[in-house]
Amino acid sequence: TGTYVQSAGVQNDMEIDGFSISVCAEIGVELSRHRSRSFEEMGPRGDDLSSFDVIVALSPHSHHRAQELTRGFSTEVVY
């Protein structure tokens, strides 16, 4: 089976860190025009949080928010 990956955060429309842009450019991934989207924006774009098996949080705040939004789902949230 394939793996589907999506990126979201607590806030939207934030610029991506320059280091992340450089690292991804080294492997051919273009991020210079990428902007973050919030968890709340995912549903209207067709990505229901309940459809994900795992959410990987990279900060305590995003971990807490992801747990709140997936309460009642079988989605695993890890930090």
Residue that wins the pLDDT comparison between 71 and 37 = 71
Q: Is 69 contained in some domain?
A: yes
For 19, the token pair is 């280091």
The answer to the question of residue 68 being in a domain is yes
Please report where in the chains the tokens 């709140």 appear, as a residue.
68
Query: Is 40 within a domain?
Result: yes
Tally of domains within the chain: 1
The per-residue pLDDT for 64 is 92
pLDDT in tens, 19-45: 888 888 999 988 877 777 888 888 777
**What was the pLDDT predicted at 1?**
64
Q: Is residue 46 part of a domain?
A: yes
Determine contact, residues 33/3, Cβ cutoff 8 Å. Answer: no
Looking up tokens 């305590």 gives 60
Question: CB count, 10 Å around CB of 38?
Answer: 14
Q: Residue 71: pLDDT above 90?
A: yes
Domain that holds residue 31: 18-78
Strands 54-56 and 76-78, by their bridges, are parallel
Q: Please state the pTM of the whole predicted model.
A: 0.68
How confident is the model at residue 6, as a pLDDT?
Answer: 77
